[in-house]
């Protein structure tokens, strides 16, 4: 079994934290893992993207070929569409519905959401609102991970949950509780969309 995941967003949104949590869960589960170099980190607001490949068998490249991604997890809808050529025909996009206008020629929102809406497998949620409304303004990325958890499939929801505990446990119990709550909010929201 394998799962090829593209993580996308804008610098400062927490894409690297999502990658760290998934990679930690994969390592704990004994899966093989390759992650491509992340781009754009040097500038807050710049494009950030990572290829994350998980498998029970050997992985020979850390890059995902066009048409092979099983899942795009994106903190920003335009960034999700940027990597659409990499998505497999039966692949899923899990994205925030909040736009982040970091470029002067950002597309019109109606056209952006029309393009997303025309795709067969898309889950969107205003994750920033969900996080803020629940007193977790810095945990929108973990809300997104909770949304994506059921689509990752090679890892169980509980394995991802345990990784959230390990990753944030090094910081404080309060951060563990906040991020577990964010994860559960995302999971519950996507389950209600199904």
Q: Answer positive or negative: Cα dihedral of 118, 133, 190, 180.
A: positive
Q: Residue 6's domain is classified under what CATH number? A: 3.40.920.10
Counted domains in the chain: 1
pLDDT reported for residue 46: 67
Those residues of the chain that have pLDDT short of 70 are 37-46, 194
pLDDT (tens digit per residue) in 76-120: 999 999 999 999 999 999 999 988 777 777 778 898 899 999 999
pLDDT, residue 104, reads 76
pLDDT at residue 45, as a whole number: 58
pTM of the model: 0.93
Domain interval for residue 54: 2-99+108-193
- Within a 10 A sphere around the Cβ of 133, how many other Cβ atoms? 11
């Amino acid at each position: 079994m394998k799962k090829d995941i593209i993580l996308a967003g804008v610098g400062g949104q927490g894409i690297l934290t999502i990658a760290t949590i998934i990679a930690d869960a994969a390592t704990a589960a004994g899966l093989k893992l390759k992650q491509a170099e992340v781009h754009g980190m040097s500038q807050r607001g710049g494009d950030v993207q990572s290829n994350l490949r998980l498998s029970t068998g050997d992985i020979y490249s850390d890059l995902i070929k066009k048409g092979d991604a099983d899942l795009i997890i994106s903190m920003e809808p335009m960034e999700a569409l940027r990597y659409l050529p990499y998505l497999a025909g039966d692949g899923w996009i899990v994205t925030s519905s909040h736009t982040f206008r970091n470029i002067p020629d950002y597309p019109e929102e109606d056209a952006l959401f029309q393009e997303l809406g025309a795709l067969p497998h898309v889950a969107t949620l205003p994750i920033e609102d969900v996080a803020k409304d629940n007193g977790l303004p810095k945990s929108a990325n973990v809300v997104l991970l909770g949304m994506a958890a059921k689509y990752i499939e090679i890892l169980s929801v509980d394995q991802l949950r345990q990784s959230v505990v390990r990753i944030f446990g090094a910081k404080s119990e309060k951060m563990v509780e906040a991020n577990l709550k964010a994860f559960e909010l995302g999971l519950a929201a996507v389950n209600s969309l199904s």
